[in-house]
Amino acid sequence: MDSIALRTRFLLAETARLAAAHGRAADAVTLIGVSKTHPAGSILEAVDAGLRHVGESYVQEALDKIASLPGLPVVWHFVGRLQANKTAAVAANFDWVHAVDRLRIAERLNGQRPAGKAPLQCCIEVNLSGEQSKGGVSPEELPALASAMAALPRLQLRGLMALPAPTEDPALQREPFARLRGLLESLRGEHPQLDTLSMGMSGDMDAAIAEGATLVRIGTALFGPRVPRQALPGSEHE
């Protein structure tokens, strides 16, 4: 498969196939094409092939693409770690934020979400391994953050997100995804509206879907290897 269009069609079909193979509805899982470091033209090719959800990790790069693609029929997801000085731009331009990991960020997003827009759909990132180098709230701190976010009127808390350590062992891949699913189920007693597990990428989407992923974030398998950021016009480090 040597084109983005062909890879998009394949991955959309594969997402549905894997969901059905694990006893779920074929439309239970949404494919997010993560286009960070790839140009706007790559997004257009994927959208023409059926992609309807696009993920970005770098704020300024994403804003440039969004501005260059007005009216594109997609849902925009911010999937990177969000700094406080970038919250206004994300609140104004995205539909989803996947990696909220502290109340300060949630409060800023809530306050900066334009009144004319629907509430910003949010997931809490959970640090399942306790690694200091990774973002995410600890499982112990999760209930308090969820309750605080659920009270913010311009946000809609939808579920949880995680980035487990990579492994090629399918059994080891499933373990952290099962833990995240368990955390979501435990939160539903107080927050029955929670319905989203953002987990799984190019190398572990099968394991994630098996454990209940509703959003999978696919970059390399769809758009190809990342382009060096300095090669993109207008890119900047964030």
The answer to whether residue 236 sits within a structural domain is: no
Domain span at 171:
4-225
CB of 16 closer than 8 Å to CB of 27? yes
The answer to whether residue 60 sits within a structural domain is: yes
Q: Where are the alpha helices (DSSP H) in the chain?
A: 4-21, 40-48, 59-68, 87-93, 103-112, 142-150, 170-187, 205-210, 220-223
CATH assignment of the domain containing 59: 3.20.20.10
The answer to whether residue 235 sits within a structural domain is: no
What is the total count of domains within the chain?
1
The answer to whether residue 230 sits within a structural domain is: no
The answer to whether residue 234 sits within a structural domain is: no
Q: Read off the pLDDT of residues 162-197 as tens digits, 9 standing for 90 and up.
A: 999 899 999 999 999 999 999 999 999 999 999 999
Residue 71 token pair: 């009216």
Q: Read off the pLDDT of residues 57-72 as tens digits, 9 standing for 90 and up.
A: 999 999 999 999 999 9
Q: How confident is the model at residue 227 (pLDDT cuts 50, 70, 90)?
A: confident
Q: What's the pTM value of the predicted model, to 2 decimals?
A: 0.94
